[in-house]
Structure 1
Amino acid sequence: MIALSLGLIAAGGAGVAVLLLQVGHRTEVVTVVRDVQVGQVLTEQDLGKASIALDPAVKAVHASDLDQVVGKRAAVELRPGSILAPSQVTKDSLVKAGEQLVPIGLKPEQIPATVLVPGQKVQLVHVPVQGETGTGKASDSPPQTLPGRVVKASGAAPGTGVVVVDVATSADDGPTVAAWVSAGTLRLVLAAPDGR
C-alpha cells in the first residue's frame, strides 16, 4: 500500500512538472481582434495579445514588438482570432507616389479564375466593342494594354458574381483605365511572375 501510494505521488509530481514545463514554453504573440482591410493603418484597438505554445516554424509577431506594428499598413486582409505574422504588415503605402488607384468592377468572364492577391502584377487590356476601333486603327490590330498592380480584390457579389478589383496604375494611365471600365471594354489578365 505504501509503495503504491509513493508511486502515485511520484506520477502526480511528474505530471505537474510536465505541465509547468509546457507553460514555461508559451510565447506571447500579437493577435488580430477585429477586421482590418488591405492597406488600412493598424491601431492598438485592432490588435491583442495571446499566450500560446508556438511552434518554431510558425512566424508570428511577438507581443513585445506590438509597438513596432502599430501604425503600419495591413498587406493582406486580417481576420479576428488570427495570429499576426510579420509578412502581413508593411510600412509602405500600397499606392505609391505617381500612381492612381482605379476601382474596376469585373464580371466573372472578365477576370482569371486564379485568386487575385495584393501586389500581383496584371495587364489591363482594352477590348473594343466588335466593329468599333475608337482609335482609327484596323479592327485586327493588337489590343492596347496597360500595366497595373492589384491592391485589393473583393469577393464575388451575390447574384451577379461581379468582383471589384482595386488596381494601382500610373497617374497617366488612370483616366484611360477608368474610361475603359466605364465603357465595359476592359479585360484583366495576369502578368508573368517576373512582370514581363
Structure 2
Amino acid sequence: MSKTQERADTAPNIVPQQGRVAPAVAPPRVSARRRRPGVIALSLALIAAGGAGVAVLLLQVGDRTEVVTVVRDVQVGQVLTGADLGRASISLDPAVKIVKADDLDSVVGKRAAVQLKPGSLLAPSQVTKDSLVKAGEQLVPIGLKPEQVPATALVPGQKVLLVHVAAQGVADAGEAADEAPQTLTGRVVKASSAAPGTGVVVVDVATTTQDGPTAAAWVAAGALRLVLAAPDGG
C-alpha cells in the first residue's frame, strides 16, 4: 500500500460544512407571570358571588307550593267535582292568589263563577257557593229543536231575549202583524247536550219572577223563541 493510500485511510472523516446538521436549540424558559394580588382578590369575589347566586336559586327552586289546578273545561255556574281539578307543585309569587292543594276539598261542590280553562291555576275568586239563580228570579226550561238552536254555543251567563211568536198553525190574535213581538229578557244558566234521536236542547233561562209565568206559558203553547242578545245586553 502506498503512503498516499495510508493517509487517506487514516485521515479523520470530515463532513463537509454544507451538509452539517445544526444541533437542536432548546426553547427559552418563560418564567410564570406573577399574579397580582388585586386580580386574585377580584377572582375570589366573583366566585363567591356566583356561589351565592346558585345558593339563592336552589333555595327558590326548593320553595315550592302545592296548588289546585283546572284539568278540564268548566262552564260558568257548573258545580265543581274532583275530576275537574288537579294538583301541581310550583314556585309561586306570594302576591298571586291561589287555592292551595290542602283546600281542594273545600272548593269541590261550589260553582264556577267564571269559565275555567284546563292548565290554569284556581283562584278563590273563581268559585262561589251561590246559585246563579238569584233572589227575585225564576228558572224557565226551554226546549229548542235542532233548527232553533243557535250555531253559537249557549254558555252560562249569556244574555238572551225570550220572543213571543204565533204558535205553529195558529194566528196570533193578540198582536197585529205590524207590531213588534213581545219580548222578555233572560240569562242562560245551563244548556244541555242535544238529546239522542230528537236533537232537542234544553236551556235553563233565569228571568224575573214577574216574567217567569209568562215565559212558561209561551213555552207550553209552543210560542216562544230564544234569541241571543248583544254582549252589552242591548
In the alignment, the residues of structure 2 paired with residue 22 and residue 51 of structure 1 have an alpha-carbon distance, to the nearest angstrom, of 16
Q: TM-score, normalised by structure 2?
A: 0.58
In the alignment, the residues of structure 2 paired with residue 166 and residue 122 of structure 1 have an alpha-carbon distance, to the nearest angstrom, of 11
Instruction: Give the match's secondary structure for 1:117.
Output: coil
Change (3 A) 1:48 1:148: closer
Deviations 1:155-186 (A, max 9, x none): 11222221111100001111111111112221
RMSD (Å), alpha carbons = 3.9
Instruction: Say whether the 8 Å CA contact 1:29–1:83 is kept in structure 2.
Output: no
- After TM superposition, give the deviation of residue 31 of structure 1 in Å: 4.8
In the alignment, the residues of structure 1 paired with residue 227 and residue 72 of structure 2 have an alpha-carbon distance, to the nearest angstrom, of 33
1:161 and 2:199 aligned:
yes
In the alignment, the residues of structure 2 paired with residue 107 and residue 141 of structure 1 have an alpha-carbon distance, to the nearest angstrom, of 26
**Map of 1:175-186 to 2, 5 A cutoff?**
175-186=213-224
In the alignment, the residues of structure 2 paired with residue 192 and residue 35 of structure 1 have an alpha-carbon distance, to the nearest angstrom, of 24
**Map of 1:1-196 to 2, 5 A cutoff?**
24=62, 27-31=65-69, 39=77, 50-53=87-90, 61-66=99-104, 69=107, 72-75=110-113, 85-86=122-123, 88-129=126-167, 131-135=170-174, 137-196=175-234
In the alignment, the residues of structure 2 paired with residue 181 and residue 99 of structure 1 have an alpha-carbon distance, to the nearest angstrom, of 17
Unaligned runs of 5+ in 1: 1-19
Change (3 A) 1:133 1:47: closer
- After TM superposition, give the deviation of residue 100 of structure 1 in Å: 0.3
Equivalent residue number for residue 15 of structure 1: none
Q: Which has the higher strand share?
A: 1
Between 1:91-100 and 1:60-69, the stretch displaced more is: 60-69
- After TM superposition, give the deviation of residue 29 of structure 1 in Å: 2.0
- After TM superposition, give the deviation of residue 138 of structure 1 in Å: 1.7
Aligned AA (1:133)? D
Between 1:64-73 and 1:124-133, the stretch displaced more is: 64-73
Identity across matched positions, percent: 72
Q: TM-score, normalised by structure 1?
A: 0.67
In the alignment, the residues of structure 1 paired with residue 121 and residue 110 of structure 2 have an alpha-carbon distance, to the nearest angstrom, of 12
In the alignment, the residues of structure 2 paired with residue 68 and residue 78 of structure 1 have an alpha-carbon distance, to the nearest angstrom, of 17
Query: Radius of gyration: which is bigger?
Result: 2
In the alignment, the residues of structure 2 paired with residue 27 and residue 72 of structure 1 have an alpha-carbon distance, to the nearest angstrom, of 23
Change (3 A) 1:102 1:77: farther
Change (3 A) 1:120 1:105: same
Change (3 A) 1:143 1:28: same
Change (3 A) 1:48 1:143: closer
- After TM superposition, give the deviation of residue 42 of structure 1 in Å: 5.4
Unaligned runs of 5+ in 2: 1-57
Q: Which has the higher contact order (CA 8 A, sep 6+)?
A: 1
Instruction: Say whether the 8 Å CA contact 2:76–2:113 is kept in structure 1.
Output: yes
- After TM superposition, give the deviation of residue 145 of structure 1 in Å: 0.6
Change (3 A) 1:60 1:54: farther
Deviations 1:50-92 (A, max 9, x none): 2345798x9963325547635632346889x976633652243
Query: How many residues are paired up?
Result: 174
